Amino acid sequence: MNGKQLKNSILQWAIQGKLVPQDPNDEPTSVLLERIRAEKARLVKEKKIKKDKNESIIYRGDDNSYYEKFLATGEVKCIDEEIPFEIPSSWEWTRIGNIFNHTSGKQQSSSNKNGGTPQKFITTSNLYWGYFVLDNVKVMDFTEEEIKNSSATKGDLLVCEGGAGYGRSAIWNEDYDICLQNHVHRLRPLVDETCEYVYYFIYLQKESNNLASVGTAMPGLSANRLKHLLVPLPPIAEQNRITKKLKEVFPVVEKYNKVQDELNLLNSSLNAIIKKSILQEAIQGKLVPQIAEEGTAQELLEQIQQEKSQLIKEGKLKKSALSDSVIYKGDDNKYYEQVGNENIDITEEIPFDLPDNWTWVRFGQYIRMSIGKTPPRGETKYWTNGKYPWVSISDMSDYGLVTTTKESVSENAKSLFGEISPAGTLIMSFKLTVGRTSLLNTSAYHNEAIISIYPFVDKIYQARNYLFHILPIISNLGDSKDAIKGKTLNSKSLNNLLLPLPPLNEQRRIVAMIELLFDKLK
């Protein structure tokens, strides 16, 4: 359980009467509600507030069901389906509109036909959970009547109406009054000391996704929805004990949350370190044992040469693809690369030794690749009526599947690309974000920061799956080190990447072990 979940659980205990004990000497909530109704009637009689047509009393009948009686009409209806849980006998269910006088602020506008004087006013951008930010308070004209009806005084509970921050609430505790914008609800208590408890109640409703108005395109908290909220109301004395206890435990919860976040970060970092270590063992031939019967990587390269020759014969590959190099370890214990008749000492490029049945090979010798493109942004014919998924780096997740893309290209864009990369293709980013690998879960095109990778001699994806796991770490070797520092790989440096190559069957066993160990880290 994280800190947020713990906080919400404590609040749930609080509103169910389970956080602090009940005291039989407390004035029951039923008496409190009678006082509130009497105060409301007095204010209506003195014409200080308007009569509430929806004022109601909620009670439990002899049949154990809950009923709501509307005082204006005498109508009574059963509300059992609205009651989410049982509450202590000294508590009562009521609507927020029954215990507060509600109003909203004035609509923000550049002009004021009614005149008035400039007044500072609060908008939703000033109102946060439990506090106000008053560094940049706006000003507009308010008439005397508007100041009277659209301002907050000390002790009022203010609530955001719309936007992502709907429901954010805070109690205005300043010694001066301030005007309000129309997207801020004002709840003025009809008796003292009810605001803090209701503030916590609203917070929990927002966290539980029980606050927003229904049937609206954008999330928000309308006046009707706010006033209609059903609140489990304790006696005033118990409200004070609840809020006091919450103030005592929440700092502890915050400390717990901080420690939990640090632990999660540590676990995440530790997992990343362990995964990197597993991959490092894998590419050095230390993750699974070598089996002589599986042959050698050199035999695999010979099979690749045969496949290349056949593809050249079929016109599917250029003859230049046969101009491969051979990397070997000399009698002097140095590494050499034979290119034609030339032998080049590449010992400084080799980061570690490999098992005898492995070999080092250039990436471009082992695979075919294609680099993507971005159709001209200014030509809408390529982007409207998108038919084909178009992958950018943001669509890729580390070791993930690309199922959907943010953008797609039209039929007109096909002429700009080569063949579409089919589902199952391994792709890798090589610009800015270097070495991120994903598998296409659908046929797609992609941009020029991504390559599609097609290993030779790979009918059952053994080589693809091996590369899928090791390319992120291989990207930290050789020429790609510069890319990690902010430079960009190109087709030449990609082809020159050094790849530690085991036999195909060992590649399969390596992948199986990687996936087994990674699963244990979840």
Share of the chain above pLDDT 70, in %: 96
Q: Two tokens at 322?
A: 């046969």
Give the pLDDT confidence score for residue 291 in this predicted structure.
97
User: b/e per residue, 438-464, with b = 16+ CB within 10 A?
Assistant: bbbebebbbbebbbbbbbbbbeebbbb
| In a shared domain, residues 249 and 361 | no
| In a shared domain, residues 64 and 207 | yes
Give the pLDDT confidence score for residue 120 in this predicted structure.
93
**Does residue 506 register a pLDDT over 50?**
yes
The residue with greater pLDDT, 463 or 4, is 463
| In a shared domain, residues 249 and 386 | no
Segment among 29-43, 100-114, 455-469 with least mean pLDDT: 100-114
Give the pLDDT confidence score for residue 216 in this predicted structure.
64
Q: What's the whole-number mean pLDDT along residues 428-451? A: 94
Residue 209 included in any domain:
yes
| In a shared domain, residues 364 and 472 | yes
Residue 277 included in any domain:
no
| In a shared domain, residues 291 and 182 | no
User: Tens of pLDDT along 419-430?
Assistant: 999 999 999 999
Instruction: Give the total residue count for the chain.
Output: 522
**Does residue 110 register a pLDDT over 60?**
no
Give the pLDDT confidence score for residue 510 in this predicted structure.
98
- Please give the tally of structural domains in the chain: 2
Give the pLDDT confidence score for residue 27 in this predicted structure.
95
| In a shared domain, residues 68 and 203 | yes
| In a shared domain, residues 406 and 482 | yes
**Does residue 24 register a pLDDT over 80?**
yes
Residue 361 included in any domain:
yes
Query: Average pLDDT of the chain?
Result: 91
Domain that holds residue 516: 284-295+357-520
Residue 129 included in any domain:
yes
Ramachandran angles phi, psi of 13, nearest 5°: -60, -40
**Does residue 109 register a pLDDT over 80?**
no
**Does residue 486 register a pLDDT over 50?**
no
The residue with greater pLDDT, 18 or 418, is 18
Give the pLDDT confidence score for residue 236 in this predicted structure.
96
Q: What's the whole-number mean pLDDT along residues 394-404? A: 90
**Does residue 482 register a pLDDT over 60?**
no
User: Tens of pLDDT along 47-105?
Assistant: 999 999 999 999 999 999 999 999 999 999 999 999 999 999 999 999 999 999 999 98
| In a shared domain, residues 288 and 244 | no
Give the pLDDT confidence score for residue 483 in this predicted structure.
43
Residue 311 included in any domain:
no
Q: What's the whole-number mean pLDDT along residues 266-271? A: 85
Answer yes or no: are the C-beta atoms of 279 and 473 closer than 8 Å.
yes
Residue 83 included in any domain:
yes
User: Tens of pLDDT along 237-249?
Assistant: 999 999 999 999 9
Q: Two tokens at 209?
A: 């996704």
Residue 148 included in any domain:
yes
| In a shared domain, residues 423 and 508 | yes
Answer yes or no: are the C-beta atoms of 448 and 372 closer than 8 Å.
yes
Give the pLDDT confidence score for residue 484 in this predicted structure.
41
SS3 per residue for 454-514 = EECCCCCCHHHHHHHHHHHHHCCCCCHHHHHCCCCCCHHHHHCCEEEECCHHHHHHHHHHH
User: Tens of pLDDT along 142-185?
Assistant: 999 999 999 999 999 999 998 788 999 999 999 999 999 999 99
**Does residue 477 register a pLDDT over 80?**
no
Residue 507 included in any domain:
yes
CATH code: domain of residue 83: 3.90.220.20
| In a shared domain, residues 207 and 290 | no
| In a shared domain, residues 289 and 228 | no
Helix (H) or strand (E) holding 361, with range, is: strand 359-362
| In a shared domain, residues 213 and 288 | no
